[in-house]
Copies of this chain bind each other. A is one copy, B any other.
Amino acid sequence: VADRPGESVTSRAFAVLSAFTPERPVLGLVEIAGRTGLPRSTVHRLLGELVAAGAIERGQDRRYRIGLRLWELGALAPRGQGLGEAAAPFLEDIHAATGQNALLGVLDGTDTVYVERLSGRRAVPIRITVGSRLPLHATGAGLALLAFSPFPLRQQVLAGELDRFTPRTVVDPAELRRVLADVRKRGYAVSDRQVERLGMSVAAPVFDRNGLLAAVSVVMPTGPDPDRFAPVVVAASRGLSRVLGAPPRNPPSKFR
């Protein structure tokens, strides 16, 4: 089997790297070939090159995992590590004030990628970890991002597949459009049992000098009044936006 034409070696190397996921962080050669659709001989050669570069490591079990060198390079991503570090004090403030999980999610395509999480020992365990990627229409952070995102991205998401995670996930485009208008009016988003049956989150958008960048959220078990966490989340998102050089924004109409 020949290598597929029209694909660069770089794209095939990243196809091999992308075979690794949070659910499957350790893989064998045959699994990688299966997941990438590349011939085993190609995968074998690429793995050798990626191991030589430190991007992949081979364990004593002879299986492959992402290498420390790739982690080290990834730590240089301004929208990853650097943003997480800028956000950490504000997430600490949210955690100190609420005792709940505080997260920062970055807008990437039509997903939220979570780049920082502060849980501490008091918070209830949640499934979202650093590196988790979730679609925009269900989580608090995703709804906050989607509501404040440019019109073409909103149109793209509303026209696409809206996966149902729970019976309460909003999957009707017209209803989602109304939800997003409400998020813009209030300045924060609430996701109540729309991702997990017993989970809830409240989130607000974060801007830098170029516009929408991320969302701060607090994630906790379902409770009676999510709105009580809105002020602390909105304040933290504004503080982080200011640190990131965003121009001042008017408060949402609800607060005026």
Contact = CB atoms under 8 A, between A and B. Distances in A.
Interface string A41-76: 000001001101111010010000111111111111
Contacts of A75: 71, 74, 80, 130-131
A91 interface: no
Interface stretch (A21-29, A32-40, A185-193, A194-202): A21-29
A9 interface: yes
Interface in A72-112: 72-82, 85, 89, 92, 106, 108
A13 interface: yes
Contacts of A82: 25
Given A11-B52, A53-B11, A129-B85, A71 B79 contact: yes
How many chain copies does the complex carry?
Answer: 2
B68 A130 contact: no
A68 B85 contact: no
A144 interface: no
Interface in A131-145: 131, 133
Given A9-B9, A11-B53, A129-B85, A70 B66 contact: no
A210 interface: yes
A115 interface: yes
Contacts of A74: 66, 70-75
Contact of A77 (B65, B113, B121): B65
Given A11-B49, A78-B26, A130 B70 contact: no
A189 B13 CA distance: 40
Given A13-B13, A17-B73, A66 B78 contact: yes
Interface of A: 8-11, 13-14, 17-18, 20-22, 25-26, 46, 49-50, 52-55, 57, 60, 65-82, 85, 89, 92, 106, 108, 113, 115, 120-121, 129-131, 133, 210
